């Protein structure tokens, strides 16, 4: 979707009014559930002892001479608890199985602005709510052999952060002005083509396409500006949206066909609108037949795309990956469309800092900003797997998404795109902060059905000894944007606020042993209310 900026006031509402459920990346990295244990006496550290007394799932020898073993326990256990249990055995030393790697961070001076790429809580968010780019960069920083078409408002190919990674049609660049030197039907298409104005110069006159391009592939480690998901990549600017951000079906079809014809491997599409078009669908299918991945924004209408399709992201075409947006706390952006079946993955999309034409930078919000994070990760995958086509790229994006409870049921992967797991092919661990992974107990509780006008009523649940508490809503239906349930901790602090429909979902997790829910309604429409069946507690 064309950027649709979010105002400061709305941004604050997003940050304060949604649940915080993503696990922060620990300061010290370790393999989940694995511990190195040195014991006093090798004779008493038999396998059956480890499995039974230590609650281990498996063990193996690290150093027989030094009586050091690797013990695997349940990965959902808190590390502190597992270590305390192991230390109560025959262990002399117990340590997590630490992970070591080079830290490949770029020297671009505005790198700290990019929470979507590396979130250190620099903008009031939660550390680790990002695409995990730094670990991915230890594997690859991209490749100029990977061609990504940005189908948008064009690209400022003179921007210092974009120019080193821009695509150049050598036949046209080295040919004669006014001549179709490569016989592709277009004249002087040196860095792409402008289908909005039918000319060879694809220069951005809006800013949107340049913003998208910066996230995909602003040149990295060059001491300038920002860095993209890829330090090195090739970006083709294909313009069909004009200076106002609008374009036609004709232009969209021509743009997709051009990018496909000129060899794009990935097509990034941060736009949408209009009704179902069989002709547009056919153009995406032609890209599919050339093995091209088509990444598309889910839309900014707070819409369920399963029930009310949005295009082009919802076409039933195998090469499409549809992208929703989350904020820097891991919460679904309130503007973002979703769809359990039709939207595939979430990505950072609120207050995303990137390049603009004229050597400028700014923060924009929208699923438009989420989409290039996924396009960029797809390009990283392609850089280490050059034979991958759309099927393999899409499968890897889906299998590597990091579980995130706030988007469970909202996107098919229930996760946030993750560059590290995408380029390595490893399986991401479950989210230990997700109430779905905690022990539960029956706790039936309901509001009146329907609730009443001008209602202000508290419902409190206390679980002795709990470190965090959440409840499961079998049914949650309030008048959207007018009636709310506020979630509060024991001190009365509101940590989240819900409205609308949240059937079959866990509530936001509240730290401590007490969760208070306050239902607040206005004096007009009364809806169903809520039914709770169980409570989840982490101790």
Query: Tell me, what's the pLDDT at 81?
Result: 83
Residues 410 and 452 in one domain: no
Crossing angle of helices 367-384 and 390-399, in 10° steps, is: 110
Question: Maximum distance among all alpha carbons in the chain?
Answer: 84
Q: Is the pLDDT of residue 447 over 80?
A: yes
Residues 345-359: pLDDT tens digits?
999 999 999 999 889
d(CA 454, CA 526): 10
Q: What is the CA radius of gyration of the chain?
A: 25
Look up the CATH number of the domain holding residue 487: 2.60.120.290
Residue 1 resides in a domain: no
Distances (CA, A) of 452 to 32, 481, 482, 518, 522: 47, 16, 13, 13, 9
Q: Are 154 and 197 in contact (CB under 8 A)?
A: no
Residues 92 and 132 in one domain: no
Between 41 and 230, residue with greater pLDDT = 230
DSSP per-residue letters across 121-163: STTSS-TT-S--HHHHHTT--EEEEEEEEEEES---TTSTTTG
Question: Which residue is listed with tokens 């947006």?
Answer: 325
Residues 85-129: pLDDT tens digits?
777 766 678 888 865 444 457 888 999 999 999 999 988 888 899
Please identify which of the residues 19, 368, 400, 405 carries the catalytic annotation: 368
Residues 326 and 279 in one domain: yes
d(CA 244, CA 226): 26
Residues 136 and 282 in one domain: yes
Give pTM, 2 decimals.
Answer: 0.78
**CA angle 355-357-363, nearest 5°?**
35
Q: Is the pLDDT of residue 61 over 90?
A: no
Between 18 and 499, residue with greater pLDDT = 499
In the 3-class helix/strand/coil scheme, how is 447-513 assigned residue by residue?
Answer: CCCCCCCCCEEEEEEECCCCCEEEEEEEEEECCCCCCEEEEECCCCCEEEEECCECCCEECCCEECC
Q: Are 141 and 259 in contact (CB under 8 A)?
A: no
Residues 13-51: pLDDT tens digits?
212 222 223 333 334 567 788 887 887 765 555 555 555
Query: Tell me, what's the pLDDT at 54?
Result: 63
Q: Are 22 and 329 in contact (CB under 8 A)?
A: yes
Q: What are phi and psi of 116, to 5 degrees?
A: -65, -30
Q: Is the pLDDT of residue 344 over 50?
A: yes
Residue 108 resides in a domain: no
Residues 281-314: pLDDT tens digits?
999 999 999 999 999 999 999 999 999 999 999 9
- Would you state the structure tokens that stand for residue 442, as one six-digit string? 């029956």
Residues 297 and 204 in one domain: yes
Please identify which of the residues 118, 206, 208, 373 carries the catalytic annotation: 208
With b meaning 16 or more CB within 10 Å and e meaning fewer, what string describes 318-338?
ebbbbbbbbbbbbbbbbbbbb
Residue 532 resides in a domain: yes
Residues 415 and 443 in one domain: no
Question: Which residue is listed with tokens 């007394």?
Answer: 53
Name the nearest CA neighbour of 72 among 98, 90, 54: 54
Look up the CATH number of the domain holding residue 57: 3.30.70
- When pLDDT is averaged across residues 450-462 and rounded to a whole number, the result is 94
Cβ contacts of 51 within 8 Å, gap of 6 or more: 57, 58, 59
Name the nearest CA neighbour of 150 among 277, 298, 262: 262
The residues that bridge with 296 in the sheet, in sequence order, are: 269, 322
- When pLDDT is averaged across residues 429-450 and rounded to a whole number, the result is 92
Distances (CA, A) of 467 to 23, 40, 142, 266, 371: 14, 34, 42, 45, 36
- When pLDDT is averaged across residues 453-464 and rounded to a whole number, the result is 95
Residue 112 resides in a domain: no
Residues 182 and 263 in one domain: yes
With b meaning 16 or more CB within 10 Å and e meaning fewer, what string describes 347-364?
bbbbbbbbbbbeeebebb
Look up the CATH number of the domain holding residue 304: 3.40.50.200
Q: Is the pLDDT of residue 488 over 80?
A: yes
Residues 289 and 412 in one domain: yes
Query: Tell me, what's the pLDDT at 404?
Result: 92
Residues 266 and 151 in one domain: yes
Residue 80 resides in a domain: yes
Residue-averaged pLDDT of the chain: 88
Query: Tell me, what's the pLDDT at 103?
Result: 44
Q: Is the pLDDT of residue 258 over 90?
A: yes
Pairing mode, strands 192-194 and 232-239: parallel
Residue 15 resides in a domain: no
Q: Is the pLDDT of residue 486 over 80?
A: yes
Query: Tell me, what's the pLDDT at 335?
Result: 93
Q: Is the pLDDT of residue 184 over 60?
A: yes
152 is known as an active-site residue: yes
Residues 308 and 272 in one domain: yes
d(CA 138, CA 161): 21
Q: Are 313 and 374 in contact (CB under 8 A)?
A: no
Listed range (86-90, 107-111, 416-420, 450-454) with the worst mean pLDDT: 86-90
Crossing angle of helices 249-261 and 278-289, in 10° steps, is: 10
Please identify which of the residues 130, 132, 152, 526 carries the catalytic annotation: 152
Of 98, 132, 151, the residue at which a domain comes to its end is 98
d(CA 50, CA 71): 8
Distances (CA, A) of 454 to 116, 483, 521, 522: 40, 9, 5, 5
Of 381, 402, 424, the residue at which a domain comes to its end is 424
206 is known as an active-site residue: no
Cβ contacts of 272 within 8 Å, gap of 6 or more: 1, 296, 297, 299, 310, 311, 312, 313
Q: Is the pLDDT of residue 504 over 80?
A: yes
Q: Is the pLDDT of residue 10 over 60?
A: no
Residue 4 resides in a domain: no
* pLDDT above 70 coverage of the chain, percent: 90
How many domains does the chain fold into? 3
Residues 80 and 128 in one domain: no
Of 371, 391, 424, the residue at which a domain comes to its end is 424
Query: Tell me, what's the pLDDT at 29?
Result: 65
3-class secondary-structure state, position 411: strand
Q: Which domain holds residue 261?
A: 117-424
Listed range (27-31, 218-222, 339-343, 429-433) with the worst mean pLDDT: 27-31
Residues 189 and 283 in one domain: yes
Residue 411 resides in a domain: yes
- Would you state the structure tokens that stand for residue 340, as one six-digit string? 């359990």
């Amino acid at each position: 979707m064309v950027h649709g900026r979010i105002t400061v006031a709305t941004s604050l509402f997003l940050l304060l009014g949604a649940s915080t459920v993503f696990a922060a990346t620990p300061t010290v990295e370790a393999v989940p559930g694995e511990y190195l244990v040195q014991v006093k006496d090798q004779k008493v550290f038999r396998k059956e002892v480890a499995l039974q007394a230590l609650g281990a799932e498996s063990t193996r020898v690290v150093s027989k001479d030094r009586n050091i073993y690797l013990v695997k326990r349940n990965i959902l256990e808190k590390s502190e608890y597992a270590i305390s249990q192991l230390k109560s055995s025959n262990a002399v030393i117990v340590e997590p199985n630490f992970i070591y790697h080079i830290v490949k961070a770029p020297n671009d001076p505005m790198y700290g602005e990019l929470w979507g790429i590396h979130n250190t809580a620099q903008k009031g968010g939660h550390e680790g709510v990002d695409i995990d780019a730094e670990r991915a960069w230890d594997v690859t920083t991209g490749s100029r052999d990977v061609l990504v078409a940005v189908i948008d408002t064009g690209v400022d190919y003179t921007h210092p952060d974009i120019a080193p990674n821009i695509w150049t049609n050598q036949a046209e660049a080295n040919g004669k002005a006014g001549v179709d030197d490569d016989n592709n039907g277009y004249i002087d298409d040196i860095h792409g083509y402008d289908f909005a104005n039918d000319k060879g110069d694809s220069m951005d006159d809006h800013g949107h396409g340049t913003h998208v391009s910066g996230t995909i592939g602003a040149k990295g480690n060059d001491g300038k500006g920002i860095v993209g998901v890829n330090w090195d990549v090739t970006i083709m600017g294909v313009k069909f949206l004009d200076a106002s951000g609008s374009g036609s079906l004709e232009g969209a079809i021509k743009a997709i066909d051009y990018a496909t014809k000129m060899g794009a491997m990935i097509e990034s599409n941060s736009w949408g609108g209009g009704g179902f078009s069989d002709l547009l669908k056919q153009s995406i299918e032609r890209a599919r037949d050339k093995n091209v991945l088509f990444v598309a924004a889910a839309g900014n209408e707070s819409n369920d795309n399963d029930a009310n399709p949005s295009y082009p992201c919802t076409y039933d075409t195998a090469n499409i990956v549809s992208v929703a947006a989350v904020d820097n706390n891991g919460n679904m952006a309130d503007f973002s469309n979703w769809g359990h079946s039709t939207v595939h993955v979430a990505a950072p999309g609120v207050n995303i800092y990137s390049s603009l034409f004229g050597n400028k930078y700014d923060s924009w919000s929208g699923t438009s900003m989420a989409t290039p994070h996924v396009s960029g990760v797809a390009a990283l995958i392609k850089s280490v797997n050059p034979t991958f086509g759309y099927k393999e790229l899409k499968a890897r994006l889906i299998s590597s998404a990091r579980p995130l409870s706030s988007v469970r049921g909202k996107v098919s992967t229930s996760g946030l795109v993750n560059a590290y797991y995408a380029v390595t092919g490893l399986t991401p661990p479950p989210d230990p902060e997700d109430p779905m992974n905690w022990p539960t107990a029956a706790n039936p509780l309901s509001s009146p059905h329907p609730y009443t006008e001008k209602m202000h009523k508290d419902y409190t649940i206390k679980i002795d000894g709990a470190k965090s508490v959440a409840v499961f809503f079998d049914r949650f239906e309030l008048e959207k944007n007018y009636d709310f349930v506020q979630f509060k901790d024991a001190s009365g602090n509101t940590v989240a606020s819900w409205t609308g429909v949240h059937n079959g979902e866990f509530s936001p997790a509240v730290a401590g042993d007490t969760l208070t829910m306050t239902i607040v309604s206005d004096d007009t429409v009364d809806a169903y209310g809520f039914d709770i069946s169980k409570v989840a507690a982490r101790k």
